[in-house]
Amino acid sequence: MATIYDVAHIAGVSAKTVSRVMNGDALVSDKTRAAVQAAMAQLAYIPSSAARTMRSSKSGLVGLITGAISDAPSGIEAVGLPEIFIVQGIQRVLAANGITLLISDTGGNAAKVPDLFRTLQEHRAEGIIYVADHHMNIALPPLANVKHLVLANCRDEAGTPAVIPDDEYGQYTLVSGLIERGHRRIGFLTLPENLVAYDLRLNGYQRALRDAGIPFDADLVRRGDSHGAPGESALVSSSIDQLLALESPPTVLCCGNDRLAVAVYGILRSKGVSVPEQMSVAGFDDYRVISEILFPALTTVDLPYGRIGEKAAELLIEMMRGSPDLAASPRHTVQGEAVWRDSVIVRDPKVATLKSNRRNG
């Protein structure tokens, strides 16, 4: 590979002048610049970032760690789907700032994390972003010499700057929208209780009811997703049975995520309940492969993974540039809006519910 000296020799100038041409550092005469550029083109010269890094101690690299330091029960395979969108968002921002991304994956083995950090530090990464595959609490091992660290899609108790989705807001928006569309009895099929999003979503659900003056009815909240564990389908099925058996059953089911919504579609149909005519369904995630393809198309909440990535990268770059006032608000949320599709119908609040219909029919 050609070096700066080769270029200098061909152009008949000193290496330093070549350096100046590359960096636009100082005044270089037009003639010299042209000669240098011609020489660079002729040799297909590409500067060595290693040499540059040594001298300037700026690597132009940011490290990324993904994988599970999970607080979820073991044995649950993380699907890892959102991560690619987060990574793409990060990439987008970093590339625009001339930064290259070093990536490493724990492969689900939390014990590897210190090694991964070390590797990133060997390459003198100027900042590190840790990405989780779902909104969770994490506890990173003690890390010496890691100056700039941002968490994406997760958070810790140590006050590390974090970018997380606003689950409470998303659920609030969805449920408010359902109420606007005439729904008064809103079933809620929950996420596993140990998830961070469990509480947040439930809060959003309750706040939306409260703001609309609808009393909270605990009977409408049932266990839904259990990480795809065996027996989940039966669990969801029985949850739905309980909801349908209520004196005043729900007119819509909010599912903890889109995956669960798919299961609910099947279960409702197998029970002879049509979607959305007899029961509206809403998901959470706007996991498009599911939500757009499902029939009828699924109303859900957009979880803006790309934005989470972008914001995490923007935050990191600010930190690297030494902006202050960041420690002030360690947690940054990104809001996603409800996406209205065919699985939710508009109804007249005064018309009786499913159960009553049946009774009458």
Instruction: Please report, as ranges, the residues that interact with DNA according to CB under 7 A.
Output: 1, 3-5, 12-17, 19-20, 22-23, 25-29, 31-32, 45, 47-48, 51-52, 54-57
The burial of 120, by beta-carbon neighbours within 10 Å (0-12 exposed, 13-18 middle, 19 or more buried), is given as buried
The only residue of 107, 213, 215, 322 in contact with a second copy, by rule CB under 8 A: 107
Which one of a second copy, DNA, none interacts with residue 74, CB within 5 to 8 A by kind?
none
Q: Does 194 bind a second copy (CB under 8 A)?
A: no
Q: Does 158 bind a second copy (CB under 8 A)?
A: no
Q: Does 111 bind a second copy (CB under 8 A)?
A: no
The only residue of 61, 69, 150, 339 in contact with a second copy, by rule CB under 8 A: 61
Which one of DNA, a second copy, none interacts with residue 102, CB within 5 to 8 A by kind?
a second copy
Which amino acid type is present at position 20?
R
**Residue 77 Cβ, how far from a second copy at the closest point, in Å?**
9
Q: How many residues does the chain have?
A: 361
Q: Does 81 bind a second copy (CB under 8 A)?
A: yes
**Residue 267 Cβ, how far from a second copy at the closest point, in Å?**
6
Nearer residue to a second copy within complex by CB, 164 or 260: 260
β-partners of residue 281 are 253
Task: Report the alpha-carbon distance of residue 64 to residue 304 in Å, rounded.
Answer: 19
Q: Does 27 bind a second copy (CB under 8 A)?
A: no
Q: Does 192 bind a second copy (CB under 8 A)?
A: no
Which one of DNA, a second copy, none interacts with residue 13, CB within 5 to 8 A by kind?
DNA
Q: And the tokens for 93? A: 């921002």
Task: Report the alpha-carbon distance of residue 262 to residue 259 in Å, rounded.
Answer: 5
Q: In this structure, are residues 308 and 285 in contact, taking their beta carbons and an 8 Å threshold? A: no
Q: Does 316 bind a second copy (CB under 8 A)?
A: no
Closest to 308 in 3D by CA, of 338, 328, 331: 331
Q: And the tokens for 326? A: 């960041």
Per DSSP (E only), the strands in 42-117 are 61-66, 100-105
The only residue of 19, 100, 242, 333 in contact with a second copy, by rule CB under 8 A: 100
Nearer residue to DNA within complex by CB, 10 or 253: 10
Q: Does 104 bind a second copy (CB under 8 A)?
A: yes
The only residue of 287, 299, 305, 354 in contact with a second copy, by rule CB under 8 A: 287
Task: Report the alpha-carbon distance of residue 321 to residue 250 in Å, rounded.
Answer: 52
Task: Report the alpha-carbon distance of residue 348 to residue 202 in Å, rounded.
Answer: 25
Closest to 151 in 3D by CA, of 334, 358, 354: 334
Nearer residue to DNA within complex by CB, 49 or 88: 49
Site for a second copy in 230-259 (CB under 8 A): 233, 259
Instruction: Report the first-to-last Cα separation within the chain, whole angstroms.
Output: 82
Closest to 347 in 3D by CA, of 206, 181, 161: 181
Site for a second copy in 260-279 (CB under 8 A): 260, 262-263, 265-267, 269-270
Count of residues that bind a second copy according to CB under 8 A: 61
Which one of DNA, a second copy, none interacts with residue 109, CB within 5 to 8 A by kind?
none
Angle, CA 323 vertex, CA 116 and CA 313 arms, to 5°: 45
Per DSSP (E only), the strands in the chain are 61-66, 100-105, 128-137, 149-155, 162-165, 186-190, 221-223, 252-255, 280-282, 300-301, 331-334, 338-339
Closest to 68 in 3D by CA, of 159, 136, 4: 136
**Residue 90 Cβ, how far from a second copy at the closest point, in Å?**
9
Q: Does 16 bind a second copy (CB under 8 A)?
A: no
**Residue 1 Cβ, how far from a second copy at the closest point, in Å?**
7
Which one of DNA, a second copy, none interacts with residue 29, CB within 5 to 8 A by kind?
DNA
Residues engaged in binding a second copy (CB under 8 A): 1, 44, 46-51, 53-54, 57, 59, 61, 64, 79-81, 83-85, 87-88, 91-92, 95, 100-105, 107, 118-124, 144-145, 228, 233, 259-260, 262-263, 265-267, 269-270, 287-290, 292-296
